[in-house]
Amino acid sequence: MLKLENLDVFYGAIHALRGVSVTVDEGEIVTLIGANGAGKSTLLRSASGMVRPKTGSVTFLGENITRTPIASIVSRGLVHCPEGRRIFANMTVKENLELGAYLRKDKAGIASDYEYALNLFPRLRERLTQSAGTLSGGEQQMLAIGRALMSKPKLLMMDEPSLGLAPVIVQDIFRIITTINQEQKVAVLLVEQNANKALAVAHRGYVLETGRITLQGPAAELRTNPEVKKAYLGE
């Protein structure tokens, strides 16, 4: 479904990704784990068109999108739910959700996805007219995911969805990721510092170290890999 091949990405003199290749197949949850600064966010940004690789290619649903405009990438169903939530603080919850669908024209589909998002996150339904900036951290994360769902993703890329959230909310967020994957048939590329939880919900995983993929495989295998355990699972 998504194929990143031999990506090299630079920020000025910083070589953030070095020959990185990653794939996500239909129906999969794939996780990317790695230390701070390893290049995880950069990898997602390269796929969504926010940064352009110097060399290498990005293919989505069989089409080369390496230089495709961002809006057109979103329209194809490759949607990025960025780190730090990036909701519109001065707009209401409802307005934020509606903005997620700004590239769509299928009114009935939009209405049904709106209901789906609110059923997934009942807390948002209770707060539709509240300005998004006054939501709690967990609620803002729910809104960011809800908004991403409103753009009808085929593949949802999530950057650190559990960052800074209380354990009970973290649990909720991971449950929702599995639900979206199973009910909506949305493939997920998940970047997480919480490697334990990420590997528990994922089918496959990659380990990124200073811009290079150093390990990859079924999530169950990575969870028992001694190097992964030592470096990322705190064992």
Q: Which residues of this protein are in contact with ligand ATP, per CB under 6 A?
A: 11, 14, 16, 34, 36-42
Q: How far is the CB of 34 from ligand ATP (least distance, A)?
A: 5
What DSSP character marks residue 122? Answer: H
Q: How far is the CB of 215 from ligand ATP (least distance, A)?
A: 15
* DSSP H/E element including 81: strand 78-81
Q: Are 92 and 132 in contact (CB under 8 A)?
A: yes
List the end-to-end C-alpha distance of the chain, in Å, as a whole number: 34
How many C-beta neighbours within 10 Å does residue 68 have? 16
**C-beta closer to ligand ATP: residue 95 or 209:** 209
Q: How far is the CB of 118 from ligand ATP (least distance, A)?
A: 30
**C-beta closer to ligand ATP: residue 66 or 194:** 194
| Residue 222 CB contacts under 8 Å (≥ 6 apart), including other chains | 33, 199, 205, 207, 215, 216, 228
Q: How far is the CB of 4 from ligand ATP (least distance, A)?
A: 14
**C-beta closer to ligand ATP: residue 36 or 90:** 36
**C-beta closer to ligand ATP: residue 36 or 129:** 36
Q: How far is the CB of 58 from ligand ATP (least distance, A)?
A: 16
Q: Are 61 and 10 in contact (CB under 8 A)?
A: no
Determine the Cα–Cα distance for residues 127 and 212; give it in Å rounded to an integer.
42
Q: How far is the CB of 39 from ligand ATP (least distance, A)?
A: 4
Supply φ then ψ for residue 202, to 5 degrees. -85, 155
Helix spans in the chain (H):
40-48, 70-75, 93-99, 107-120, 122-125, 137-150, 167-183, 195-201, 219-224, 226-232
Q: How far is the CB of 55 from ligand ATP (least distance, A)?
A: 17
**C-beta closer to ligand ATP: residue 43 or 93:** 43
What 3-state DSSP class applies to 52? coil
**C-beta closer to ligand ATP: residue 16 or 222:** 16
**C-beta closer to ligand ATP: residue 42 or 96:** 42
